[in-house]
Amino acid sequence: MNRHKLLLNVILFICLWGNTLSIPYAETVKSNQTEILSKIHIDWQKWLVALRQNSNAVRELVSKSEDWRDLRGSGPFAGMTVVMLTAKVGSLEQLDLILARKPDLSIQDELGKTVLHHLLERNGIVTGHLKKLLEAGAPINRGDVNLSNPLHLAASKEGVESLELLLQYGANLETMNLSGKSPLMVAAATGRDQNVAFLISSGADPLVESASGYNAWMFAAAGGHEKILELLTQNPSIQIEHTEKMHLRNALHLATIEGHVETIKFLISSGLNVNQGDMLKVTPLHLAVLSQKTKSVDLLLINGASAYLQDNTGITPLELAVISGDLPILKLLLKQPPDAPLATSARENALREAAFQGKFNLVQELVQQNIAPNTKNVNGQTAWTMAVSAGHNEIADYLASQPGPHALNVIFAAEFGFNERLSVLLKENVDVNVSDVRGFSPLMLAAGRGDVEMLSSLINYGANIYHQSLQGWNVLSLAISSGSIETVKKIIQVDSKLIFQEDKEGWNALHWAAFHGESEIINLLLPFIDDIDSKDYQQRTSLQLAAIEGHQSIVRTLIEWNASTSVKDQSGRTVMEQAILYRQKDVLESLLLLGTSASAGLRYASSIGEVGFLPLFKHHGANLDEADEDGNTPLLLAVLGEHQETVFRLLDFAADPNLANAQGLTPLILAIRSRQPALTSVLLKYPLDLERQDPFGNTSLLTAALNGNEEIVDQLIIAGAKLEHSNYMGQNALHLAALQGQVGIVKRLLDANLSPMKSDQFGLTALHRAAENGHESVVRTFLKTKTVDPNINVLDAHGDGGTPWLLAAKRGHINVLEVLFEASADPDAVELLNGTTALQVASAEGQLSTVRWLLEKNLSKIDETDFLGNTALHYAFQKGQKLVIEELIRWGANPQKANYEGKIPSEIAQNLSNDTTLNTLN
């Protein structure tokens, strides 16, 4: 290596180890100095050599050319100018030479650093250089890429001289860098107590916080600088309980994380609470354990820190010690007496965690501290079960040897098949007849897994084979559900009576086997069975359960053993109906092949809309028109169930659409009654008897009018239904539509030229019926036709005759009276049989509002008489209408007016012994 390169390597080494280069570059350069030097510009190499020689060498380079002003460094010197390099490694005299040429001091390198940054990164005192640069106008408050300005760098250096100079030239005391630190915070974090004191005396605010809530106090604590903390406490405004914003941790938390023992002592002596939790309730002791700072743990415990406090996740410092596997810290924590709240549960949790983590030494230590090994957590886990589930058998066997109840452990081993671990427990004379919350014993759990080996072992150790769970299940039930024929055989060998033991659903072993579809087990059980049709508490047989679950082979087997196909469950379903309901086609085919009635099956399938089975039943000879005991055919049942597609398929298969049931109802009538226009549309595509009457004489059109379905009425009229047909009460479609207030249907029938003048058997027209029932819009529709006489008066021996006006008054329909009055109805009309007026019939019926309306409108004479001389007041007294009596008297009714028998209203009340009406008159 020549002398020039040797010198360059020496210079580079000095730069690196003197901390004059940035750390990322320093680490790279240290690894391969030769490679880095090869990438540095030759002119820059000359400057490096010159600055390490003498001022004359610098003077010579400056005098040769002005190119040095534009020269920029590369590699570890990326973007640096000559003046930056001079400030970093040159002498004061060399800096003077450069400054005399007035270089641009505002330039920043690739990391945003100015000449002042590079100067202040030098080790040692650089006051002379700094003063020269400040006098030359170097920018004092400019930040680098991390927003650190020269004052930040000076704050981290030993000595206050640089700080003094910078402040004299206008440095900003409170500027924050990218990390949120002010110069004071930097000084506190780096332990520069003199700088801290100077900055505070110069006006720096110790309470200023970073964006994350850190202040000088917090940075000093995190750095372990108790001298600075002591200095800061001299300021009365300092809050020692201050917490940062991210985790809400205080100074004690921060000092504990770093293990600054002396700082921890100082903070505790200053009054900070050793058990203060952060945002997640993490205490300083949690952090000390997590950081594995043994001395910090000991110190905190001495000062009252609790090893049993839980954070938000339920973890205690004790459990953290287990998780980290730190035995010395665990021993320290266990010295704390278990007399605090939750101490016992915290210790038990720690033991379970140690067992799960497989840390035998910690498990032994915890057990030696008399921590119960068989307690369970909220999930029902013991230390033993956690060790077993994690595969730590040595720990599990150690715990099994400890005294205490092992019920949970035995159940766990049986449920999950840990045979070897169970064998260890059994040798410790544990109770084998314990049970879990479901009432399952270890023997049942072993049977449920089909584990013959464990089953035999438990029986040998005295397990109760007759035990039943809370649902009444026994060991044989679970063995059957596992499908293990060998397990079932073993149990039956012990006692075959278990086959007949019933659970709380009334199931025996045969029910269980049929439900689970275990053919081999069924064949094993059948020779023991006396009653193959035994029922559960829902009246279901084994055959029905097999059918429900779709176990075709078992259905065949049970029928071959004479199981009945006609037995019904509590819902009245047979085995075939169960197969249809649960859509078990294979089972259904087997039942049909074995002779079950296809016609009965077709009816049930039609009733629930299982259209997919219809071809199957037809294939097996089902009679499409065969009725049940109520006379319902498959088609009628499909209509009743509103199964449109099923109706369509049955009709397509040529089912008779005109057959009626025992009540005389046809499919069409049923569809109309249930207001199903989609179904009636389907039915009307086939030849139907539209005039067939129901038990009341109503045809399809009358039924549709009565039920108020305008769409169906349209369908029937288009299909040719006779409009004039009347039922057994002489009422036609208009009567029934008017009766129900179906104005749309009334209009449709009138448009079809159905006369509104026809009287029913009581002599009433459709207008009478509409008025009587208060259907104002229907009345108005009739009156608009101009073919209806609003004063038509009919004689009715039953007392409901008269005009529409009289009927509306009698029923209290003022709205109808107003419409009739507009149409020139005669308010003086009287009923033909007795001569009663509107006021009289309204009074008799207690229609107070109607009485008042008639009198207010002057539409009735208050003392007008009927054919027997009775006034409205007579009728009111006769019927005991107290309020009407008061209203009539208020309007001037004559209480002394006698009828043709010579009786005044009060005498009628006396004859009827009506004290209320007499008192009203008095």
Domain end, chosen from 494, 520, 545, is at 494
Span 641-675, pLDDT tens digits: 999 999 999 999 999 999 999 999 999 999 999 99
Q: What angle do CA 454, 460, 463 make, to 5 degrees?
A: 80
Q: Is the C-alpha dihedral spanning 612, 616, 622, 623 positive or negative?
A: positive
Span 456-497, pLDDT tens digits: 999 999 999 999 999 999 999 999 999 999 999 999 999 999
Span 320-366, pLDDT tens digits: 999 999 999 999 999 999 887 789 999 999 999 999 999 999 999 99
Give the pLDDT of residue 797: 61
- For residue 451, what are its two tokens? 């584990």
* Residue 190 DSSP label: T
* Average pLDDT value for residue range 703-710: 93
Exposed/middle/buried for residue 549 (C-beta within 10 Å: 0-12, 13-18, 19+): middle
Domain end, chosen from 494, 520, 549, is at 494
- Whether 909 maps to a domain, the answer reads yes
End-to-end CA distance of the chain: 144
Q: Answer yes or no: do 783 and 893 share one domain.
A: no
Span 760-792, pLDDT tens digits: 998 899 999 999 999 999 999 999 998 899 999
Q: What are phi and psi of 569, to 5 degrees?
A: -80, -175
Separation CA 476–CA 491 (nearest Å): 7
Percent of the chain having pLDDT more than 90? 86
Separation CA 830–CA 880 (nearest Å): 22
Q: Answer yes or no: do 886 and 779 share one domain.
A: no
Q: Answer yes or no: do 779 and 871 share one domain.
A: no
- Whether 555 maps to a domain, the answer reads no
- Whether 715 maps to a domain, the answer reads yes
User: Do 99 and 81 contact (CB within 8 A), yes or no?
Assistant: no
**pLDDT classification of 9: cutoffs 50, 70, 90:** low
Question: Residue 201's CB: how many other CB atoms inside 10 A?
Answer: 9
Q: Answer yes or no: do 411 and 489 share one domain.
A: yes
Separation CA 547–CA 568 (nearest Å): 13
Q: Answer yes or no: do 887 and 774 share one domain.
A: no
Separation CA 59–CA 241 (nearest Å): 59
Lowest mean pLDDT segment, chosen from 35-39, 68-72, 502-506, 733-737: 35-39
Q: What are phi and psi of 245, to 5 degrees?
A: -90, -25
User: Given a cut of 50, is residue 826 above it in pLDDT?
Assistant: yes
Which residue in 135, 132, 182 sits closest to 154, CA to CA?
Answer: 182
User: Do 380 and 349 contact (CB within 8 A), yes or no?
Assistant: no
Separation CA 80–CA 83 (nearest Å): 8
Percent of the chain having pLDDT more than 70? 94
- Which residue type does 440 have? F
Question: Residue 853's domain is classified under what CATH number?
Answer: 1.25.40.20
Q: Answer yes or no: do 802 and 877 share one domain.
A: no
How long, in residues, is the chain? 922
Separation CA 580–CA 578 (nearest Å): 5
Span 780-825, pLDDT tens digits: 999 999 889 999 999 876 667 899 999 999 999 999 999 999 999 9
127-135 helix and 92-100 helix, angle to the nearest 10 degrees? 10
* Average pLDDT value for residue range 111-129: 93
pTM of the predicted structure, to 2 decimals: 0.64
- Whether 643 maps to a domain, the answer reads no
- Whether 744 maps to a domain, the answer reads yes
Span 574-617, pLDDT tens digits: 999 999 999 999 999 999 999 999 999 999 999 999 989 999 99
- Which residue type does 795 have? L
Question: Residue 88's CB: how many other CB atoms inside 10 A?
Answer: 23
User: Do 843 and 804 contact (CB within 8 A), yes or no?
Assistant: no
Number of domains, the chain: 3
SS3 669: helix
Separation CA 410–CA 414 (nearest Å): 6
Lowest mean pLDDT segment, chosen from 316-320, 621-625, 916-920: 916-920
Span 424-433, pLDDT tens digits: 999 988 999 9
Separation CA 433–CA 414 (nearest Å): 12
Q: For residue 455, what are the CA distances in angstroms to 421, 490, 501, 663? A: 14, 9, 19, 63
Separation CA 324–CA 223 (nearest Å): 25
Tell me the residue range of the domain where 425 lies: 405-494
Instruction: Quickly tell me which residue has 């098949």 as its tokens.
Output: 417
Exposed/middle/buried for residue 282 (C-beta within 10 Å: 0-12, 13-18, 19+): buried
- Whether 787 maps to a domain, the answer reads yes
Q: Answer yes or no: do 824 and 696 share one domain.
A: yes
User: Given a cut of 60, is residue 870 above it in pLDDT?
Assistant: yes
Which residue in 282, 278, 298 sits closest to 290, CA to CA?
Answer: 282
* Residue 468 DSSP label: -
- Whether 416 maps to a domain, the answer reads yes
SS3 535: coil
- Whether 364 maps to a domain, the answer reads no
Q: Answer yes or no: do 715 and 781 share one domain.
A: yes
Give the pLDDT of residue 20: 45
Separation CA 569–CA 186 (nearest Å): 86
Q: What is the DSSP string of 91-118?
A: -HHHHHHHHHT---TT---TT---HHHH
Exposed/middle/buried for residue 677 (C-beta within 10 Å: 0-12, 13-18, 19+): middle
Average pLDDT, the chain: 92
* Residue 158 DSSP label: S
Give the pLDDT of residue 888: 96
**pLDDT classification of 912: cutoffs 50, 70, 90:** low
* Residue 140 DSSP label: S
Q: Answer yes or no: do 733 and 748 share one domain.
A: yes
User: Do 543 and 564 contact (CB within 8 A), yes or no?
Assistant: yes
Q: Answer yes or no: do 881 and 806 share one domain.
A: no
Strand segments, DSSP code E, in 440-530 are: none
Q: Answer yes or no: do 824 and 720 share one domain.
A: yes
* Average pLDDT value for residue range 743-772: 94
Domain end, chosen from 829, 863, 883, is at 829
Q: What angle do CA 695, 697, 702 make, to 5 degrees?
A: 120
Give the pLDDT of residue 23: 39
Separation CA 591–CA 564 (nearest Å): 11
Separation CA 640–CA 652 (nearest Å): 18
CA trace torsion 561, 567, 570, 571 (10° rounding): 120
* Average pLDDT value for residue range 281-305: 97
Q: Answer yes or no: do 750 and 867 share one domain.
A: no
